[in-house]
A and B are shown apart, each in its own frame.
Chain A
Amino acid sequence: MSHLLNHHLQAIKLVLRRMRMSALSTFVICLVIAVALCLPSLFYLGVDNLAKLGNHMQSETEISLFLKSDISPENTAKIEAALAQHPDIAEYHFVSRDEAWSQLQRKSAGNADISNAIQHLGSNPLPDAFFIQAKSTEPAQLEMLRDRLQRLEGVEQALLNAEWAKRLAMILNLGRQFVLFVGLLLAIVLLVVIGNTIRMQMLTQKSEIEVSYLIGATNSFIKIPFLYAGAFYGLFGGMLSVLMIATMITSFNLSVTEISTLYGSDFKLNLLNIKLYLAIIAIAVITGWIGAYVAVSRAIRQIRLQ
């Protein structure tokens, strides 16, 4: 047991020493790995944050019915009667333009910019509106209902709030597939880069490997340092990639804070996404190990044949 441990410790020491001796080329390889990992990770972050935003909104399958600003009270009553009778509508409530106006003023009281803007408007620009909750949540039925409501007289616009959320969900799905696809492609790139690096290293150490075999080295004695090298390239590349992502998120957050305070939002990318970071490093280490394993097996066969 201690023999085996000693074996591995020696291999790790050897690999780290070799990496230190060729620090620059090691850094370049790690940089390539880091950049390759960054791309799908950033896409993933983007999609993930959009999805969070989308989930927040998706629960509202509400139809907003904005009425013409010059509508007569009789017309409004007629529309309300139609809504009350409609079999597809679960509930609805009416918000008059005055109510909406005071609501807006109340909500924006905390934000000086917006309340200033409201002051400048002077008169109330908002229309009367019905907010309707449909019985169904099916997109097709909701759309049919919206189209029917749109045709009522005195209706300026019928908005299906869920619509953009649905579209967003579709785009997000596409985005996730794209992330997966890009991730797979770059994983292949990583395999090739690491595999090739390891293979070149083995060829430069060919004479050592040959002599080692002659004086009784086992296959695993030859393989283990190179497998560790692959894993270490992955580890360092993964760590560098995490560092790069964290830096990008921080600088993104700095610039986005200015914009989002303008909109009264506290939207921010989450900096401490430990799970994502661990996943990136784990994937890098595993990919490095696999790349090294394939390369080592091939190179050993090549060397032993000679």
Chain B
Amino acid sequence: MIRFDNVSKRYPGSDEILKNISFNIDAGEFVFVTGHSGAGKSTLLKLIAATELPSRGTVLIANQNVSQLKASAIPYLRRRFGLIFQDHKLLFDRNCFENVVLPLRINGVAEQEAAKRVRAALDKVGLLNKEKVMPITLSGGEQQRLAIARAVVSRPAILLADEPTGNLDAEYAAEIMNIFRAFHQVGVTVIMSTHDALGMSNQHRVLHLHQGSLSDMHIQNMSENSQPGVAS
């Protein structure tokens, strides 16, 4: 579903942030992208979401070469993804409902249908009673959950989350992790970056980045029972 072949990325005036990365992610996987800050995790996610294009190599999303897509086709590619950003990128000038409905407006979903779906998404993240609340009044964990609701409201097949628990304390982080796990269980592909190796679950695949190289790629399979999502 997502395939990187010898992908390198370099921004103008900087060293290569990613060097010759190759991997393949199948539908339905739960993948962690780990590494120190600055290791290129965010860049990797941006390449997947086609908000950045590779400097070298090919990125294939659903068998489409991102570099060869027309600019007008890229928005439609992005709609396959639900994006969650570390800084939420919520819009603070409107209430929770209006934040979550944005992707549906972009997709041209009719008003009534959109309202139904927004409530379903808010329900999934436990914010159904906060529909009319302005996001600035929410706690950090609630804001991140709102961002997740916005990412999943258009029912994307792939969730891309850039350090979604990075700024949260352990309790909230566990909550967020459980939400992602629930989506994974219903068949959504989840790709999540985290700088904190202990913050991730243990039965999932890990792509580890070190100084721009994919130095490590393995499936951890340790204790099934260890408490997920807790950062020490």
Residues of A within 8 A of B (CB): 3-4, 6-7, 10, 207-208, 210-219, 221
Q: What 0/1 readout, one digit per residue, does chain B (93-106) give for beta carbons within 8 Å of chain A?
A: 10000000011011
B105 touches A10 (CB 8 A): yes
- From 49 to 90 in chain B, residues with beta carbon under 8 angstroms from any chain A beta carbon are 49, 51, 72, 75-79, 81, 83, 85, 89
The reply on B168 being an interface residue by CB < 8 A is no
Complex Cα spacing A3 to B108, Å: 6
A215 touches B78 (CB 8 A): yes
A212 touches B102 (CB 8 A): yes
Which of chain A's residues have a CB closer than 8 A to the CB of B78? 214-216
A211 touches B108 (CB 8 A): no
Complex Cα spacing A44 to B31, Å: 71
12 contacts between A and B (CB under 8 A): A6-B108, A7-B108, A207-B89, A207-B91, A208-B102, A210-B89, A211-B91, A212-B106, A215-B83, A215-B103, A215-B151, A216-B78
Q: Number of residue pairs across A and B with beta carbons under 8 Å?
A: 53
B72 touches A218 (CB 8 A): yes
Complex Cα spacing A212 to B99, Å: 11
A215 touches B106 (CB 8 A): yes
Complex Cα spacing A4 to B150, Å: 23
Of all chain B residues, which has the CB nearest A13? B111
Which of chain B's residues have a CB closer than 8 A to the CB of A208? 91, 93, 102
The reply on B110 being an interface residue by CB < 8 A is yes
Of all chain A residues, which has the CB nearest B89? A211
Complex Cα spacing A4 to B107, Å: 10
A215 touches B51 (CB 8 A): no
A216 touches B108 (CB 8 A): no
Which of chain B's residues have a CB closer than 8 A to the CB of A212? 102, 106
- Contacts A214-B83, A216-B107 supplied; 8 other A-B pairs, CB < 8 Å: A10-B105, A207-B89, A215-B79, A215-B103, A215-B150, A216-B81, A218-B72, A219-B75
- Closest 10 A-B residue pairs measured CB to CB? A216-B78, A216-B79, A218-B75, A217-B106, A3-B108, A216-B75, A211-B89, A7-B108, A215-B103, A208-B91
Which of chain B's residues have a CB closer than 8 A to the CB of A213? 75
Q: What 0/1 readout, one digit per residue, does chain B (138-157) give for beta carbons within 8 Å of chain A?
A: 00000000000011000000
Which of chain A's residues have a CB closer than 8 A to the CB of B106? 212, 215-218, 221
Which of chain A's residues have a CB closer than 8 A to the CB of B151? 215
Which of chain A's residues have a CB closer than 8 A to the CB of B89? 207, 210-211, 214
Which of chain B's residues have a CB closer than 8 A to the CB of A7? 108
From A6, A10, A214, A218, B51 is in contact (CB under 8 Å) with: A214
